[in-house]
């Protein structure tokens, strides 16, 4: 299923994402990369571009690039080249940015994800062109100084991986899904903290529109999208704007635009006419970056299981549907929570249902993460155990879950079952498995509802529901609904 057209136009989107790498020191110097220090306190002689200083490659940054390449099935270049991108700006201390131009370290690869389209869930793959290492610039601060600008070079030299896709996305929803998936991967493998507010994960979207089958339209690049919400708004606005322009008979000019969250609009920063000539050339201060197969193998050996590999394993080992497996591998913490619970209770599908249902719902509605979740995976496993062995019904289990969540009962994992059983007892939620007692209860309800009985006997099967409800109520939720149904049919049959 392909993405819907917008007013008869196909939307084409490509992404460039700057992921700040989680190294302690900068890409070419030993200064710290920690966020939020006093201006210019984390800029050393190299970052300030003092005369005589030279760059020395941070191996940790290279290893993180290798990790991304391995995670996305890319080719890791055995030899890649650093180049200088020359331009003047006050927050660019050397007057050039060290980046990779002709031969990047990571080449090709792809990002796959599921996308909800109407009723369907579609599997989508976005191809990568490349990912290259580069240094970040400093920051210009224009607000706090009258008639002057402040320059903070703390960020100068922070390692970035710029991840570039083919123009493979066909809607803002696809674009956001791609960005979320990429965000998941970089945080999963730990190469980036993913903090979008602090600028650790910044996306530029190249957007164009065309009539189906026509060549690619002229693109405009929306810079620095730092939230998924703005990403969607910005692309949607940009698509509408471009279609209006074309419909009004105007050609689209290649341009770089910024999104203003206050107005919800994009506006052009600069057009192609004033695009700079960056005079790229190989940086003579840095020899070619050589990455041996052994180095790649070493990095691979140290890498955690990747989300898609883990999802495949969940399908294989736990018999989960692919959708469940993908959802449960949205984060390492989520996957670990699932796996512990599933192993402890031996009911992987039930565990999956609970995690994607109650657990996610409660997490989304509060300031709770899996790190400080009140219902530990051990507690959840015991709760599921009690459902599976028919001690409690699903609805009763929900009451226990609510109680656990709101009371935040601390309990050692070993005592989890005791905790659950105590709660079941205290609330009197134990399922009524005594057939005699249940039959007596059913008889009472049948006697009290002759009208329903008559209707059912006359052929109205829906009348049965009018009987089940009161029986469950009379049992205080403790009756097993399946058992109630069976007994009712027997008595009425």
Q: Note the residues at the interface with another protein (CB under 8 A).
A: 45, 48-57, 84, 86, 88, 90, 93-96, 151, 277, 279-281, 284-287
Which lies closer to another protein via its Cβ, residue 40 or residue 330?
40
Name the burial class of residue 244, with classes exposed (0-12), middle (13-18) and buried (19+) by CB atoms within 10 angstroms of its CB: exposed
Residue 39 beta carbon to another protein: minimum distance, rounded to whole angstroms: 13
Alpha carbons 435 and 189: distance in angstroms, whole number: 54
Which lies closer to another protein via its Cβ, residue 35 or residue 280?
280
Residue 137 beta carbon to another protein: minimum distance, rounded to whole angstroms: 12
Bridge partners for 221 per DSSP: 206, 256
Buried b (16+ CB within 10 A) or exposed e, 95-106: ebbbbbbebbbb
Given a contact cutoff of 8 angstroms between Cβ atoms, the answer to whether 299 and 70 are in contact is: yes
Which lies closer to another protein via its Cβ, residue 120 or residue 277?
277
Alpha carbons 484 and 473: distance in angstroms, whole number: 12
Q: Which tokens hold the place of 163?
A: 């991840």
Which lies closer to another protein via its Cβ, residue 63 or residue 174?
63
Which lies closer to another protein via its Cβ, residue 90 or residue 357?
90
Neighbours of 124 (CB within 10 A): 20
Residue 276 beta carbon to another protein: minimum distance, rounded to whole angstroms: 10
Alpha carbons 155 and 139: distance in angstroms, whole number: 7
Residue 29 beta carbon to another protein: minimum distance, rounded to whole angstroms: 10
Residue 258 beta carbon to another protein: minimum distance, rounded to whole angstroms: 19
Which lies closer to another protein via its Cβ, residue 37 or residue 275?
275
Which lies closer to another protein via its Cβ, residue 114 or residue 278?
278
Residue 48 beta carbon to another protein: minimum distance, rounded to whole angstroms: 6
Residue 54 beta carbon to another protein: minimum distance, rounded to whole angstroms: 5
Angle at 78 between CA 72 and CA 83, to 5 degrees: 95
Residue 384 beta carbon to another protein: minimum distance, rounded to whole angstroms: 55
Which lies closer to another protein via its Cβ, residue 35 or residue 281?
281
User: Roughly what angle, to the nearest 10 degrees, separates helices 416-427 and 377-388?
Assistant: 60
Residue 9 beta carbon to another protein: minimum distance, rounded to whole angstroms: 32
Residue 191 beta carbon to another protein: minimum distance, rounded to whole angstroms: 23
Which lies closer to another protein via its Cβ, residue 143 or residue 302?
143
Alpha carbons 75 and 81: distance in angstroms, whole number: 15
In the block, residue with structure tokens 């498995």? 433
Residue 140 beta carbon to another protein: minimum distance, rounded to whole angstroms: 10
């Amino acid at each position: 299923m392909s993405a819907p057209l917008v007013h008869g136009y196909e939307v084409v989107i490509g992404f460039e994402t700057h992921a700040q790498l989680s190294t302690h020191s900068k890409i070419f110097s030993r200064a710290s990369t920690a966020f939020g220090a006093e201006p210019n306190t984390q800029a050393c002689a190299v970052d300030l571009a003092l005369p005589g200083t030279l760059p020395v490659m941070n191996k940790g940054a290279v290893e993180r690039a290798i990790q991304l390449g391995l995670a996305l099935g890319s080719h890791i270049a055995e030899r890649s080249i650093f180049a200088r991108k020359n331009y003047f700006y006050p927050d660019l201390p050397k007057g050039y940015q060290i980046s990779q131009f002709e031969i990047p370290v990571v080449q090709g690869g792809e990002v796959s994800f599921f996308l909800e389209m109407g009723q369907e869930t579609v599997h989508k793959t976005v191809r990568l062109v490349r990912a290259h290492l580069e240094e970040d610039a400093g920051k210009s601060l224009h607000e706090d100084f009258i008639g002057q600008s402040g320059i903070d070079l703390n960020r100068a030299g922070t390692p970035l991986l710029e991840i570039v896709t083919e123009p493979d996305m066909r809607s803002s929803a696809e674009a956001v899904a791609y960005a979320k998936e990429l965000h998941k991967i970089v945080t999963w493998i730990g190469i980036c903290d993913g903090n979008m507010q602090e600028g650790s994960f910044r996306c530029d979207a190249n957007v164009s529109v065309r009539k189906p089958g026509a060549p690619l339209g002229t693109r405009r690049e929306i810079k620095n999208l730092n939230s998924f919400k703005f990403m969607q708004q910005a692309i949607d606005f940009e698509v509408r704007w471009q279609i209006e322009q074309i419909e009004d008979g105007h050609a689209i000019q290649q341009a770089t635009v910024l999104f203003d969250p206050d107005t919800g609009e994009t506006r052009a920063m600069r057009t192609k006419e004033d695009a700079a000539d960056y005079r790229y050339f190989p940086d003579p201060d840095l020899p070619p970056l050589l990455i041996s197969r052994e180095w790649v193998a070493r990095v691979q050996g140290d890498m955690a299981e990747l989300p898609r590999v883990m999802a495949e394993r969940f399908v294989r080992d736990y018999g989960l549907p692919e959708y469940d497996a993908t959802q449960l591998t949205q984060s390492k913490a989520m996957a670990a929570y699932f796996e512990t619970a599933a192993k402890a209770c031996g009911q992987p599908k039930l565990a999956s249902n609970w995690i994607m249902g109650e657990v996610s719902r409660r997490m989304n509605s509060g300031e709770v993460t899996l790190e400080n979740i009140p219902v530990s995976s051990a507690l959840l496993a015991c709760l599921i155990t009690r459902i599976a062995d028919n001690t409690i019904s699903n609805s009763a289990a929900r009451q226990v879950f609510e109680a656990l969540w709101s009371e935040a009962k601390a309990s050692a994992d070993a005592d989890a079952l005791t905790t659950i059983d105590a709660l079941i007892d205290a609330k009197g939620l134990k399922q009524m498995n005594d057939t005699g007692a249940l039959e007596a209860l059913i008889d009472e309800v049948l006697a009290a509802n002759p009208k329903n009985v008559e209707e059912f006997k006359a052929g109205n099967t829906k009348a049965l529901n009018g009987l089940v409800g009161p029986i469950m109520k009379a049992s205080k939720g403790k009756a097993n609904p399946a058992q109630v149904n069976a007994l009712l049919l027997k008595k009425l049959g």
